[in-house]
Structures are given as structure tokens and as C-alpha cells.
Amino acid sequence: MIKYGYGHLLNRVIIVANEKPQEEVKKLNRELKQTKAALSDMAVKAMVLENMLAIYAESHGEDPEEVKKKLASLLHIER
């Protein structure tokens, strides 16, 4: 068999793309972005609450750790 031209020398790559996996990746990326945003919001809220607790404890002349323990026992939170 005789081949003409240089086409037989080139590497050929065939990509078979299906839209479903691409759509799934986009959906997962959106969900990841939303999850990261929710996590950062929760982290900010936790820091604010921690500072509010420290301010409360200082203004009432109490130890912040003791206030945390009292609050945890009132809310039935294990530490």
C-alpha cells in the first residue's frame, strides 16, 4: 500500500466528547463554590460569636473558658 503526502506521519488524536460529563463537572464546580462560600460564612460567624463571648466575659468579670463551659452545658453541647 502506497501512501501519498505526509498525513501518515502525523499522530492523530481522536476525542469523543459526551456533554453529560462536562455538565456534571460544571454542576459539581458550582456546588463546590457554594459549599466553600457557606463554609467561609460559618467560619466568620464562629469568629464573631467567639469575640462576643469574650467581650461578654470581660464585661462581667468572668473567665471566657468558664462562660463557654456554662453555655455548652446549657445548650447540651459536648466539648
**Domains of the chain, residue spans:** 18-75
Looking at residue 8, its pLDDT comes to: 65
Label residues 11-32 b or e (16+ Cβ within 10 Å = b). eeeeeeeeeeeeeeeeeeeeee
Looking at residue 46, its pLDDT comes to: 93
Using an 8 Å Cβ cutoff, are 55 and 47 in contact? Answer: no
Splitting the chain (79 residues) into consecutive groups of 10 residues, what average pLDDT does each group show? 61 75 91 98 95 93 90 79
Looking at residue 43, its pLDDT comes to: 97
